[in-house]
Structure 1
Amino acid sequence: MVDRIKKVLDQELLADASMSDTTNYNVRVTNGSTHEGKTPFLIGVAGGTASGKSTVCKRIMEQLGQADMDHTKRQVVCISQDCFYRELTPTEKIKADKGLFNFDHPTAFNEELMLNTLKGVLAGQRCNLPAYDYKTNSLCPERMVTIYPADVILFEGILVFYFPQIRDLFHMKLFVDTDSDTRLARRVPRDINEKGRDLDQVLNQYMNFVKPAFEEFCSPTKKFADVIIPRGADNTVAIDLIVQHIRDFLNNRCSRITNGNDSGDGSTTTPAADSASTQLSRPH
């Protein structure tokens, strides 16, 4: 298994990264970044709810010394798909307040905003998008989430491989595979403590929405993964290999810049973007 993972990582490191069209964005894009004109190494991290996606990303950030760094200066950053929940209708908000809205369905996300934002960061640009208020289930234009350019970007979420146009943007795809009982055991206390829900509401939502959505929309996307990580963050071997791969890429990138050989044409996967301090939130 270790040799197979290493082979995939080596192949991805040598793969060319194509530039994406960045016109007609439904997202605010600003210039002036030192990364502008270069292509980041975009890694997708998928998996079921409470599978450990955000924890895997956190471990990667920690091992690379990026977690405590100013998010405007990070070389490796993480964006959560949770940042792209769409605005709900009044009727949907009422359902959401009662735990009757399916946040695990593809239609709960703003696919266009996700696509345009990723195209923006792939172009090495800084992007801004409205924050999402999980208590009111609405967008907050007055609170903007800034995504800063960097060299490597982790984009994690339950359905990051579901949308074909978004899936095709990734240079590497990881799937965090964790037992369903373990995921439920993690989700119950999380929703009770962080969302103030009672046990019955959490279990009903899981049985009516979360579990069926995982089986229909998330689990089938495992076949698109380049590397499957069993047991999530507990799989230290897989995480160490991925971290080493990213470290090799960053060192290679730094060496090319120092030697003046970095053309910024995307031939050596480059800069990316970050999603502010709320990047690892997982409200639903």
Structure 2
Amino acid sequence: MLVIGIAGGSGSGKTTVAHAVVNKLGDENVALISQDSYYADLSHLSPEQKQHINYDHPDSFDNHLLVQHLKSLREGQPIEVPTYDFSTHSRTNKTLHVPSKPVVVIEGILILAAPELRNQMDIKVFVDTDPDVRILRRVMRDINERGRTLESVHEQYLTTVKPMHEAFVEPSKRYADLIIPEGGQNEIAIDLLTSLIERYI
């Protein structure tokens, strides 16, 4: 089994790149996992306490569970991926059944910042996109898909997203085997990545 890690800042287009890989190689060959599904469950905290959590810090993810799941997939075992509710910052009681496949693509902002996750990857990719493009995409997504207000998105960006990007996400680029500028718009880089993966399957 081949594990591909696709990292990049919030709104960089890494999810678009990941889906492009799946589309080119086929659902039967590729399992796609998002690091967002592995946010730590905060259902035990009050709404006020949740507002003070830094969701862009590496500690906000349950990487231990994610590593366990990647190891299970390597052993040919299916996994049950948590379902995370961003409006309540807690896991739901539903899971997503993911069978083991020849290729696993895992995407997330901080997957290259965690040594225990990097150790599970065969190919590490970083999607590099201009900050102004990333913030506009994040604003649209958080308002339209996650029920946030413009004010809360603005505050979160300045207090945690931007500082954590500079502290953890951007430095993790040095671990990448392949850097894709401009994300999902870069067809040449995506074709190069998929051609590389096809050699293994």
Question: Which TM-score band (shorter chain)?
Answer: over 0.9
The answer to whether the Cα contact below 8 Å between 2:41 and 2:90 also exists between their aligned partners in 1 is: yes
Q: How does 1:40-51 map to 2 (within 5 A)?
A: 40-51=1-12
Q: Percent identity?
A: 41
* Alignment partners' CA distance in 1, 2:167 and 2:149: 26
8 Å Cα contact 2:38/2:82 also seen in 1:
no
Could you tell me which residue of structure 1 aligns to residue 48 of structure 2? 94
Match among 40, 44, 65 for residue 113 of structure 1:
65
**Which amino acid in structure 1 is aligned with residue 126 of structure 2?**
F
Question: 3-state DSSP class of the match of 2:145?
Answer: helix
**1:56-100 CA deviation, whole Å, 9 max, x = no partner?**
01111122243xxxxxxx21121000111111164464343x5x4
Aligned partner of 1:219 in structure 2 is: 170
- Equivalent pair of 2:10/2:138 in contact (CA under 8 Å): yes
Aligned with residue 39 of structure 2, among 85, 102, 109:
85
C-alpha contact (below 8 Å) 1:92/1:101 kept by paired residues: no
In structure 2, what is the equivalent of residue 124 of structure 1?
Answer: 76
Q: Secondary structure at the match of 1:244?
A: helix
Could you state the TM-score of these two structures normalised by the residue count of structure 1?
A: 0.67
The change in CA–CA distance for 1:59 and 1:130 in structure 2 (over 3 A counts) is closer
The residue that corresponds to 1:52 in the other structure is 13
1:62 to 9, 13, 23: 23
What is the TM-score of this pair, normalised by structure 2?
Answer: 0.93
What secondary structure does 1:249 align onto? coil
Please, which runs of 5 or more residues in structure 2 have no aligned partner?
none
For 1:115-264, list aligned pairs within 5 A: 115-140=67-92, 142-250=93-201
Write out per-residue CA displacement over residues 111-164 of structure 1, whole angstroms, 9 at most, x where no aligned residue: 211111111112121112432222222223x31221211000101001111111
Question: Tell me, which stretches of 5 or more residues in structure 1 are unaligned?
Answer: 1-39, 67-73, 251-284
Report what 1:14 is aligned to.
none
Give the length in aligned residue pairs: 201
Question: Displaced runs of 4+ in structure 1, greater than 3 A?
Answer: 89-93
| Distance (whole Å) between structure 2 residues aligned to residue 168 and residue 191 of structure 1 | 31
- Matches of 1:42 and 1:120 in 2, distance apart? 12
